[in-house]
Amino acid sequence: YRISHAGWTGVQLFFVLSGFLITGILLDSRLAKNHYSSFYVRRVLRIFPLYYGVLAITFIVLPAVGRVPASVASDQHHQIWLWTYLTNWAPLFGAGSKTFPHFWSLAVEEQFYLVWPLLIRTRGPAGCLRLCLTVAAASLAVRCLLYWYAVPGHLIYENSFCRMDALALGGVAAAALRIPDWREKIFAASNRFLIVGGLLFFVSMVVTRGFWTGTLAGATVGYTLVAACFTLLLVAIVGAEANASSAWVKIFRFRPLRALGKYSYAMYVFHKPVHDFVGQPLLTMLDFDVSQSVLWSTAYIIIVTAITFAAALASWHVLEKHFLRLKRFFVPDG
């Protein structure tokens, strides 16, 4: 049971990667005259078409044809949280989505995208690094405060302020790699970062009792420790790739892994609906409980993942790539 719940650590990896990539983009283009417009339009072209397409089908098309699943019917009364990327705050008001509960992490991302460029524009890499460390510390402090006041764990988990440390630590890596003296030292020590990250991973697992967010350590420092592990791994990979001297980094060039990365956004969007509207009805029809067998549970996960990948592949070719081609008109001019 706890092993399955450790899957939340993947969200931390997602946030660290996002913080790294977005902060790097913003630092590299901070002197561009179209700094804001290029950034925001390019994010819109990547995120909005699929996201709002799914919402339109769910809340406009399905009701129009009279085929509204129960979870969708429940969400219709408070769908505004989804349309405005505020769904991670909806549980505070008893309005959490049943159809798209996983969209909370995308809401956190969009809120980050909205604010972060405003904070980065006037800062160089060193100033950005200090800002990121401050934000990470503040995020940890907020989690500790909320835990002290016995705020339910799921509200801490989806709170934007409580998840900023992972995004900020990714930003730390991006800023550090743009400080010339630091960059060379980081590249030279890439294998050490890998070792330290691995050791910290095991320390984190012990401290949080298997990455369990229900403990004091797990609900407070655990989030930061996991994010720090992924940040160190990311820096190690970037350094090893730059040096082209570490054989272990070749695993990240594995074509199937790159394919998963390419289609990961649509897989994220589709995985819950595929489970709810394809997998579960099929299991109900067959009167089959996969939870009773590790083998059948694994088989079910593989099958549903394959269906999700196929849907993501179709989404890429039918919709996403056509909007992404428009990015060439919104390149930073400096």
pLDDT tens, residue order, the chain (334 aa): 455 567 889 999 999 999 999 999 999 999 999 999 999 999 999 999 999 999 999 999 999 998 888 889 999 999 999 999 999 999 999 999 999 999 999 999 999 999 999 999 999 999 999 999 999 999 999 999 999 999 999 999 999 999 999 999 999 999 999 999 999 999 888 889 999 999 999 999 999 988 988 889 999 999 999 999 999 999 999 998 888 767 888 888 888 989 999 999 999 999 999 998 888 888 888 777 777 777 878 888 899 999 999 999 999 999 999 999 999 999 998 6
For residue 268, the model assigns a pLDDT of 96
39, 117 Cβ separation under 8 angstroms = yes
Residue 85 — left, alpha, or beta (φ > 0 → left; ψ -120 to 50 → alpha)? Answer: left
For residue 248, the model assigns a pLDDT of 82
For residue 5, the model assigns a pLDDT of 67
Q: Within 10 A of 308 (CB to CB), how many other CB atoms are there?
A: 23
Q: What is the pTM of this model?
A: 0.93
The three-point CA angle 148-153-154 to 5° equals 145
For residue 203, the model assigns a pLDDT of 93
For residue 296, the model assigns a pLDDT of 79
For residue 137, the model assigns a pLDDT of 98
What percent of the chain is helix, strand and coil (3-state, nearest 5)?
80, 0, 20
For residue 245, the model assigns a pLDDT of 66
Note the helical H segments in 124-263. Answer: 125-148, 153-158, 164-176, 180-188, 190-207, 216-219, 221-243, 255-262
Q: CA nearest 79: which of 114, 51, 105? A: 51
For residue 22, the model assigns a pLDDT of 97
Q: Within 10 A of 56 (CB to CB), how many other CB atoms are there?
A: 12
Q: CA nearest 251: which of 237, 266, 272? A: 237
Question: What is the sign, positive or negative, of the torsion defined by CA atoms of 263, 265, 266, 270?
Answer: positive
For residue 334, the model assigns a pLDDT of 65
